[in-house]
């Protein structure tokens, strides 16, 4: 699959923390196919809905993102226009959520749900009427990839709907960001605007070799996010997608970085380092019981 990048990012490819996340490696061309290390495809009871953990469902609204991160766990699907849910899919998905009242927490993901505002809005309108759903989340990278897109009409309408929905139930916006170079003035402005929308802002990051595997880089990132009102939620060990091994960080290095983060950041500003799993046990905290990381 071809690479994809936005004008916002292209204009900033001189920043190492941006270029390294988006530039394709020739290594990828030799690969027959990317795999599915989290085995999501076998936990998809209806099209577009991953039900891996008992009380939570993840909805893949589309496989579209403004730009394609080379390390993406779902790189096998990203960019495929056939991945966008259709109204008929949404209907089945809503029926599934209604039939499974144990699901109280629904995560709109993809792809980037802000890139397909019409389908995302349709889903939010339906899902918020399901009494058993108590919390909504939406994952996005658009404020970092193309912040001006948040000022377009369809995105503003979607944000209005999100804000209105957030008066009824908790609504968390999860920003995917990996490097302080991504915090451009326009991105900071977009984050400040999101803060006015009644949502809780959280972040998710991936630990990536030769991109952000330095304690100082991550401390700068999480400190600034904290100052912007974003609570760092997860720092993921990079999933072992076949063909993307170049992004994996050595565990000893990972442990030492995490120890520095815990020592240097406010508790609220320090994300939990986790590894995602193929099985249904949830994200596993790493180095959690290591006394040198718990200070
Ligand atoms: C990450 C994830 C969730 C949410 O997990 P939390 O630990 O509650 O943030 C839900 N479903 C799937 C399939 C996930 O990958
Ligand atoms: S924005 Fe997220 S879903 Fe899209 S390519 Fe990047 S990591 Fe994957």
* CA-proximal residue: ligand 1, atom 1 (nearest): 283
Name the phi and psi angles at 189, rounded to 5. -60, -45
SS3 96: helix
Pocket test residue of 46, 49, 58 for ligand 1, highest count of atoms within 8 A of CB: 58
CA of 170 to the centre of ligand 1 (A): 16
User: What does the block give as tokens for 106?
Assistant: 């629904």
Residue 237, ligand 2, Cβ within 6 A:
no
Pocket test residue of 65, 75, 234 for ligand 2, highest count of atoms within 8 A of CB: 65
Inter-residue contact 120 to 158 (CB < 8 Å): yes
Shortest CA distance to 156 belongs to which of 204, 122, 108, 190?
190
How would residue 30 be classed by pLDDT, with cut points 50, 70 and 90?
Answer: confident
* CA-proximal residue: ligand 1, atom 12 (nearest): 58
* CA-proximal residue: ligand 2, atom 6 (nearest): 69
User: What distance in Å separates the CA atoms of residue 268 and residue 238, rounded to the nearest whole number?
Assistant: 22
Pocket test residue of 73, 136, 236, 282 for ligand 1, highest count of atoms within 8 A of CB: 282
pTM of the model: 0.95
Positive or negative, the CA dihedral 60, 76, 143, 286 is positive
- Identify whether 218 is preceded by a cis peptide bond (ω within 30 of 0): no
User: What distance in Å separates the CA atoms of residue 33 and residue 168, rounded to the nearest whole number?
Assistant: 43
Instruction: Give the mean model confidence (pLDDT) for residues 43-56.
Output: 95
How would residue 242 be classed by pLDDT, with cut points 50, 70 and 90?
Answer: confident
CA of 114 to the centre of ligand 2 (A): 12
* CA-proximal residue: ligand 1, atom 8 (nearest): 56
Report the pLDDT value the prediction gives residue 15, as an integer from 0 to 100: 96
Rg (CA), the chain: 18
Name the phi and psi angles at 53, rounded to 5. -110, 140
In the chain, DSSP assigns E strands to 49-53, 56-60, 105-109, 135-140, 171-176, 200-207, 231-237, 272-275, 284-285
Residue 111, ligand 2, Cβ within 6 A:
yes
User: What does the block give as tokens for 279?
Assistant: 């099985």
Instruction: Give the mean model confidence (pLDDT) for residues 104-132.
Output: 98
Residue 68, ligand 2, Cβ within 6 A:
yes
Report the pLDDT value the prediction gives residue 27, as an integer from 0 to 100: 76
Polymer length of the chain: 295
């Amino acid at each position: 699959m071809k690479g994809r990048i936005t004008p916002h990012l292209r204009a900033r490819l001189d920043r190492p923390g941006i270029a390294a996340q988006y530039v394709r490696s020739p290594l990828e061309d030799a690969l027959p196919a990317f795999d599915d290390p989290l085995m999501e495809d076998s936990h998809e009871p209806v099209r577009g809905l991953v039900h891996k953990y008992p009380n939570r469902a993840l909805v893949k609204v589309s496989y579209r993102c403004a730009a394609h991160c080379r390390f993406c766990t779902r790189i096998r699907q990203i960019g495929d226009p056939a991945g966008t849910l259709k109204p008929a899919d949404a209907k089945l998905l809503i029926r599934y959520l209604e039939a499974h009242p144990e699901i109280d927490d629904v995560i709109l993901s993809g792809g980037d749900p802000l890139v397909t505002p019409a389908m995302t809005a349709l889903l939010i309108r339906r899902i918020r009427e399901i009494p058993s759903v108590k919390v909504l989340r939406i994952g996005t990278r658009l404020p970092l990839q193309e912040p001006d897109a948040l000022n377009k009409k369809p995105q503003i309408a979607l944000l209005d709907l999100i804000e209105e929905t957030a008066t009824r139930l908790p609504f968390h916006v999860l920003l995917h960001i990996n490097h302080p170079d991504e915090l451009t003035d326009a991105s900071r402005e977009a984050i400040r605007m999101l803060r006015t929308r009644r949502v809780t802002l959280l972040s998710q990051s991936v630990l990536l070799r030769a991109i952000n595997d330095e304690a100082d880089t991550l401390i700068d990132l999480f400190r600034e996010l904290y100052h912007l009102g974003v609570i760092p939620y997860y720092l993921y060990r990079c999933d072992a997608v076949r063909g993307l091994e170049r992004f994996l960080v050595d565990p000893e290095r990972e442990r030492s970085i995490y120890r520095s983060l815990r020592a240097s950041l406010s508790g609220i500003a320090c994300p939990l380092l986790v590894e995602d799993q193929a099985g249904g046990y949830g994200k596993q905290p790493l180095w959690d019981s290591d006394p040198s990381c718990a200070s």
